[in-house]
């Protein structure tokens, strides 16, 4: 009898765990919905932040987040995809390959603040780029690279072998087979991974603290010349992103409406990340459908 | 490739101007021997870049981290075990990193302690108790929780958990425990999804054998499934701990940033990451404080490497079996 009672108790504990997990998510989203979304407004999204008065917005921070994200992706995707192709197609089992594999693993598991400190040492101090969009984007590239490498490698490995054999049998070179046959076939899964990793980059803050800085110069959104100092496109200006802004407002902010700004920014941040997840899913499904429909 | 070359040479050397294939540039694409070389160049330079990134991170952070011992002549042992961090004291400034090392270790352990039962419970729920709909509900929950940025966890910890602590346990509410809870919630989805994978990998024949001799579901889970998944469950927990250890901003917002060793879990504390976050921006490059902070970063790097080695060891043992 007692084993049945234990069974009952243990199983209800397990169900409780599942409820805790689902409840955590519900509470998080509920909080953001109640506290965050209610403090959102069009003017909040389109006005500049204020350092000491109430009523500031997040226009610059939002722009910086997307700008840093785009630069990061431009740098990461080619390097990461090539690295993944190396591991999936060119790497012969041996010391070098296992060393590269360990390197990817190490990069993936280093704390982001350590990567940020490295960026501060090299890009900010040594290269003298100061706190800038470029330093931030380069650090995030280091941070994001292992994810893209892994996604690409998995995408290539999941392809049926006969596709590659078909290409080689036609007399194509290995690289040409990769370029024209394997890469397009693996594209949907790689793209899904890239968009998912974009969500991760978008929310990253610790690595950007020492590299992209805690402030933004006054931006002139009518000046799109990347060389001028008040242009939003300038790569060498400091750029506080949205997630860093949430932290900065809470730790050192002196504005009276900290709660409103922080909650609103958090809601925007989470909505963006959720959108990235949603887009990744739909794009993956759509491309899959298109490809399988064609065949 | 050899055949291809001879064929094209034979058929097009005589009358190259009439070749449709050549006009379209197809022959060039098929016989361009440089393309392979160019492709390899891209591929290998990316691979080398990854090695360079790891080597330079390790090298530069080590060199910079050792400066406080080589240039500023701090005693390594005093630095590691000293419990007084007063870099701004006018006479006799002291640099003792022990409160931060202690804080980091205790936040990591407490977070693992909070997360492990819930995470393994969830994993069992997904894989054993409610295989179909549990999976369908919890999988998206995990994916969304993983995606939420750490600052948001910190913010919600600050505005929900900290007031709760203040109300029930007194003090400011900013404490070691608040930090651990926030980090624990943060690593929950990661640990759960890896634990679920490892439980799924246990072969069904073991479960069937256990049910066949009359065991209840819980007996099967507790005596058969969990021991069989053993070392991979530990890997999941260690992975979660390594994430907890490196987390910076979320912890910084709720832990209270005291510079002494906390007396209880309700006291404010600090970790390696939080002190670096707080002081790095204010210190001038080359000052002793700045060098000491880099040394803290070096400790962080070393412990991250230790975690990596442990995880490799655990997963290597699993593969060998």
pLDDT digits (tens, 9 = 90+) for A218-266: 888 888 888 787 888 888 888 899 999 999 888 877 788 888 888 999 9
**Any idea what the CATH number is for the domain that residue A84 is in?**
1.10.3720.10
- pLDDT for res A95: 87
Residue A13 inside a domain? The answer is no
User: pLDDT band at residue B264, thresholds of 50, 70 and 90?
Assistant: confident
B148 and chain A: CB distance < 8 Å anywhere? yes
CA of B179 vs chain A CAs: smallest distance (Å): 15
Check residue A91 and give its pLDDT: 85
Q: How confident is the model at residue B25 (pLDDT cuts 50, 70, 90)?
A: low
B133 to chain A, closest Cα gap in Å: 12
Q: How confident is the model at residue B29 (pLDDT cuts 50, 70, 90)?
A: low
In a domain, A182, yes or no: yes
pLDDT for residue B320: 58
Report the alpha-carbon distance of residue B187 to residue B185 in Å, rounded. Answer: 6
**Nearest-10 crossing angle of helices B176-200, B162-169:** 120
Closest by Cβ to A10, choosing from B218, B242, B249 = B218
Of the given ranges (A65-69, B27-31, B48-52), which has the lowest mean pLDDT?
B27-31
Check residue A267 and give its pLDDT. 92
> Is residue B26 pLDDT above 80, yes or no?
no
Q: Does A127 touch chain B (CB under 8 A)?
A: no
Whether A272 maps to a domain, the answer reads: yes
A181 touches chain B (CB under 8 A): no
Of residues B31 and B231, the one with the higher pLDDT is: B231
Q: What is the CATH code for B85-320?
A: 1.10.3720.10
Residue A247: CB atoms within 10 A of its CB come to 28
Residue A285 lies in a domain: yes
Note the pLDDT of residue B11: 47
Is A215 a member of any domain? Answer: yes
Distance CA B252, CA A126 (A): 28
Residue A44 counted as domain residue:
yes
Closest alpha carbon to B61 in A240, A96, A69, A210: A210
d(CA B121, CA A24): 15
> What percent of chain A has pLDDT above 70?
99
In this model, does residue A1 exceed pLDDT 60? no
Give chain A's mean pLDDT. 88
Closest CA to A79 of A99, A107, A102, A98: A107
Task: Provide mean pLDDT across the span A183-208.
Answer: 90
CB contact under 8 A, A273 and B148: yes
pTM across the whole model: 0.87
Hey, are the CB atoms on B149 and A270 less than 8 Å from each other? yes
Interface test with B, best of A2, A23, A86, A263 (most B CBs within 10 A): A86
Average pLDDT, chain B: 85
Q: CB B167: neighbour CB atoms within 10 A?
A: 9
- Asked if pLDDT for residue B1 goes beyond 50, the answer is no
Residue A16 lies in a domain: no
By C-alpha distance, which of B63, B74, B1, B70 is closest to B32? B1
Kindly state the average pLDDT of the residues B93-101: 88
Q: What pLDDT shows up at residue B321?
A: 52
Residues A50-100 have pLDDT tens digits of 777 777 788 889 999 999 999 999 999 999 999 999 999 888 888 888 888
Domain that holds residue A96: 40-294
Whether A262 is in a domain gets the answer yes
* A13 contacts: CB under 8 Å, gap ≥ 6: B121
- Classify burial at B73, counting beta carbons within 10 Å of its beta carbon; exposed 0-12, middle 13-18, buried 19 or more: exposed
Task: Answer for the pair B19, B7: CB distance below 8 angstroms, yes or no.
Answer: no
The distance of B59 to chain A (nearest Cα, Å) reads 10
Nearest-Cα residue of chain A relative to residue B273: A113
**Which one of B24-28, B166-170, B306-310 scores highest in mean pLDDT?**
B306-310
Q: Tell me: the pLDDT tens digits for A97-111?
A: 888 888 998 998 899
% of chain B beyond a pLDDT of 90: 46
Beta-carbon separation of A110 and B253 below 8 A: no
Nearest Cα to B129, choosing from A1, A7, A25? Answer: A7
Instruction: Check residues B109 and A36 and name the one with the higher pLDDT.
Output: B109
Report d(CA B162, CA B181) in Å as an integer: 10
pLDDT band at B20 (very low <50, low <70, confident <90, very high): low
Q: What are the beta bridge partners of residue B256?
A: B269
Question: Would you call B245 and A269 a contact, using CB atoms and an 8 Å cutoff?
Answer: no
Q: Residue B32: what pLDDT?
A: 61
Q: Percentage of chain B surpassing pLDDT 70?
A: 88
B249 → closest Cβ in A104, A196, A247? A247
Q: Say whether pLDDT at B17 is over 60.
A: no
| Residue of higher predicted confidence among B84 and B66 | B66
Q: How far, CA to CA in Å, does A114 sit from each of A106, B272, B311?
A: 12, 11, 19
Per-residue pLDDT, A45: 85
| Alpha-carbon distances of B47 from A79, A191, A257, rounded to whole Å | 8, 20, 48
Query: How many domains does chain A fold into?
Result: 1
Mean per-residue pLDDT, B47-76: 90
For the segment B134-139, the average pLDDT, to the nearest whole number, is 86
Tally of residues, chain B: 321
Mean pLDDT of A28-40: 87
Band of residue B236 on the pLDDT scale cut at 50, 70, 90: very high
Q: Does A134 touch chain B (CB under 8 A)?
A: no
Q: What are phi and psi of B256, to 5 degrees?
A: 100, -20
pLDDT tens digit sequence for A130-162: 889 999 999 999 999 999 999 999 999 999 899
The answer to whether residue B8 scores a pLDDT higher than 50 is: no
Interface check B45 vs A, CB under 8 A: yes
Any idea which of A279-293, B7-21, B246-260, B295-309 has the lowest mean pLDDT?
B7-21
């Amino acid at each position: 009898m007692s084993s049945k009672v234990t069974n009952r108790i243990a199983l209800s504990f397990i169900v409780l765990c599942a409820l805790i997990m689902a409840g955590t998510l519900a509470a998080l989203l509920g909080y953001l919905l109640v506290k965050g979304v209610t403090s959102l407004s069009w003017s909040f999204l389109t006005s500049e932040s204020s350092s000491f008065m109430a009523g500031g917005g997040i226009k610059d921070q939002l722009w910086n987040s997307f700008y840093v994200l785009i630069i990061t992706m431009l740098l990461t995707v080619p390097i990461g995809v090539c690295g993944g192709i190396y591991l999936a197609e060119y790497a012969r089992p041996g010391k070098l390959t296992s060393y590269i594999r360990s390197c990817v693993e190490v990069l993936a598991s280093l704390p982001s603040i350590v990567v940020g400190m490295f960026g501060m040492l090299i890009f900010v101090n040594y290269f003298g780029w100061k706190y800038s969009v470029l330093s931030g984007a380069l650090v995030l590239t280091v941070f994001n690279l292992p994810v893209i490498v892994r996604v690409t490698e998995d995408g290539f490995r999941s392809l049926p072998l006969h596709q590659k054999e078909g290409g080689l049998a036609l007399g194509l070179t290995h690289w040409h087979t990769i370029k024209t046959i394997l890469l397009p076939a693996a594209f949907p899964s790689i793209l899904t991974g890239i968009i998912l990793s974009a969500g991760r980059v978008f929310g990253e803050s610790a690595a950007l603290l020492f590299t992209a800085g805690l402030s933004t110069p006054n931006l002139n959104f009518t000046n799109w010349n990347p060389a001028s100092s008040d242009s939003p496109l300038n790569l060498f200006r400091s750029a506080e992103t949205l997630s860093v802004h949430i932290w900065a407002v809470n730790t050192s902010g002196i504005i009276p409406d900290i709660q409103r700004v922080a909650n609103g920014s958090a809601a925007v941040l989470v909505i963006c990340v959720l959108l990235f997840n949603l887009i990744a899913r739909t794009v993956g499904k759509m491309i899959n459908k298109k490809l399988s429909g064609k065949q | 490739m050899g055949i291809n070359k001879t064929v094209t040479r034979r058929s097009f050397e005589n009358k190259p101007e009439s070749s449709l294939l050549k006009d379209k540039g197809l022959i060039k694409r098929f016989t361009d021997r440089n393309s392979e070389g160019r492709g390899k160049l891209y591929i290998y330079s990316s691979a080398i870049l990854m090695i360079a990134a790891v080597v330079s991170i390790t090298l530069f952070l080590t060199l910079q981290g050792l400066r406080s011992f080589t240039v500023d002549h701090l005693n390594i042992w005093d630095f590691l075990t000293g419990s007084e961090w007063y870099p701004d004291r006018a006479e006799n400034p002291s640099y003792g990193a022990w409160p931060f090392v202690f804080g980091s270790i205790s936040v990591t352990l407490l977070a693992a302690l909070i997360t492990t039962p819930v995470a393994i419970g969830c994993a069992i729920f997904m894989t054993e108790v409610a295989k179909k709909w549990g999976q369908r509900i919890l999988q998206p929950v995990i994916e969304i929780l993983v995606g939420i940025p750490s600052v948001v966890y910190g913010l919600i910890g600050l505005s929900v958990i900290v007031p709760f602590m203040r109300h029930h346990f007194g003090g400011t509410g900013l404490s070691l425990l608040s930090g651990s809870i926030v980090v624990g919630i943060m690593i929950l989805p990661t640990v759960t999804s890896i634990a679920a994978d490892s439980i799924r990998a246990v072969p069904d024949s073991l479960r069937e054998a256990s049910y066949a001799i009359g065991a209840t579901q819980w007996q099967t889970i507790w005596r058969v499934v969990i021991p069989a998944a053993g070392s991979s469950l530990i890997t999941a927990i260690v992975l979660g701990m390594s994430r907890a250890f490196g987390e910076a901003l979320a912890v910084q917002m709720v832990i209270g940033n005291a510079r002494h060793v906390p007396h209880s879990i309700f006291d404010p504390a600090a970790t390696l990451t939080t002190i670096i976050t707080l002081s790095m921006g204010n210190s001038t490059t080359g000052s002793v404080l700045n060098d000491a902070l880099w040394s803290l970063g070096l400790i962080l790097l070393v412990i991250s490497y230790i975690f990596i080695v442990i995880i490799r060891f655990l997963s290597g043992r699993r593969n060998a079996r």
